[in-house]
Amino acid sequence: MKAVTWGSRGSLPATVNAGHIRSKITRALEAVQDHDFSTPEAIDTFIDAHLPFAVCGGYGTNTTCVEIRTDRDDREFLVIDCGSGLRDFGAYLMM
């Protein structure tokens, strides 16, 4: 059996606001001193090695939607608790 949680933030979905994004940009810019950004690879290396996940990524904002699949047939699934994470699960199914 395989279980995937699509959105596991909590009881209420939360959006990212401008102040939060600004704070992340500020933290990233503070970390760039004395680093080489002359190639796309150097930029990727800096992001991976020097920025914490809270700065270079983000945490989920959806409420939980749980997808259950069996090991027998990956084409069949059961969805439990259709929170707002259902939208991401639906987008995944349409890919």
| Residues 63 and 89 placed together within one structural domain of the fold | yes
**Confidence at residue 43, expressed as pLDDT on a 0 to 100 scale:** 94
Domain residue limits at 86? 1-15+59-95
pLDDT at 29: 92
Alpha-carbon distances, residue 70 vs 7, 20, 21, 60 (angstroms): 20, 39, 39, 25
70-74: long-range contacts at Cβ-Cβ below 8 A with a sequence spacing of 24 or more? 70/1, 70/2, 71/1, 71/2, 74/2
pLDDT by 10s per residue, the chain, length 95: 888 888 776 666 667 778 888 999 999 999 998 898 999 999 999 999 999 988 888 776 778 889 999 888 778 899 998 888 898 899 999 99
21 and 52 co-located in one domain? yes
Number of domain units in the chain: 2
pTM: 0.52
Rounded Cα–Cα distance for residues 2 and 58 (Å): 24
Q: Are residues 47 and 72 in the same domain?
A: no
